[in-house]
Amino acid sequence: MKDKIRVLLADDHMVVRMGIASVLTFAGGMEVVGEAETGLAAVKLAHELKPDVVLMDLKMPGLGGAEATAQIHAQDPEVKVLILTSFAASVDIKRAMDAGASGALEKNSSRTEIIDAIRGVAGGQQVMSEEIRNTIRSISTIPELSQRKVEILNLVAKGLSNREIAEIVGVTSETVKDHVAKILKAIGASTRAEAVSMAINLGLISG
């Protein structure tokens, strides 16, 4: 490992970037070489600056963190990506790991945990919090929802009744009721509200 780990920060919130940059500056042995507020900027700067580690947010305007991770990994597999996210239950974390990320932590992790994680992935380790590890395991067991079920789930999220959804989709209320029951079973939810909340957290539908 190099004496000084070169880090690129990718997060659309300036305050978050400032806070992390401050933590890394005082940690010693690390240097913030660049900052990106979008996924596209992260990909561009990763190519230009060749950092050791990209600290990547998942939710950014335009190109998301998982997609940016895939592009960075494709253009230079030596650049390590560490996901730092507020959404520990997001399916995007698994997408990012599948795309080549070396680890993932929650943004509420301690300074020591973040510093140790950066050092770990820079040294070739895979680093993941237990909550995120459990999320990835649970996501792997969730079946893919059909396009029709996702459509209905989005309408449920808008607070529409089965009858209203049936009119929009062009099926009977009983068919909608059957779809909703299967959605709840697939996600592991007991109520419509819980299904919507879980689906948003897992990235199956937008909030």
Write down all domains in the chain, each with its CATH number in brackets.
5-139 (3.40.50.2300), 147-201 (1.10.10.10)
Can you list the residues of the chain whose pLDDT is less than 70? Answer: 1-2, 88-90, 138-143, 202-203, 207
pLDDT recorded at residue 92: 78
pLDDT for 160 equals 96
Q: Which two tokens stand for residue 99?
A: 């795309």
Give backbone dihedrals phi and psi of 111, rounded to 5 degrees, phi first: -60, -40
DSSP 64: -
Which of 137, 123, 111, 122 lies closest to 20 in space, CA to CA?
111
Q: How far apart are CA 169 and CA 28, in angstroms?
A: 58
Q: Which residues contact 18 (CB under 8 A, 6 or more apart)?
A: none
Torsion angle (degrees, nearest 10) of CA 154, 156, 161, 166? 40
CB 65 within 8 Å of CB 58: yes
pLDDT at 142: 59
Q: Is 77 helix (H, G, I), strand (E, B) or coil?
A: coil
Which pLDDT score is estimated for 1? Answer: 47
Supply the pLDDT for residue 155: 95
The closest alpha carbon to 100, from 75, 131, 119, 135, belongs to 75
pLDDT of residue 175: 95
Residues facing 127 on adjacent strands: 103
pTM score of the predicted model: 0.70
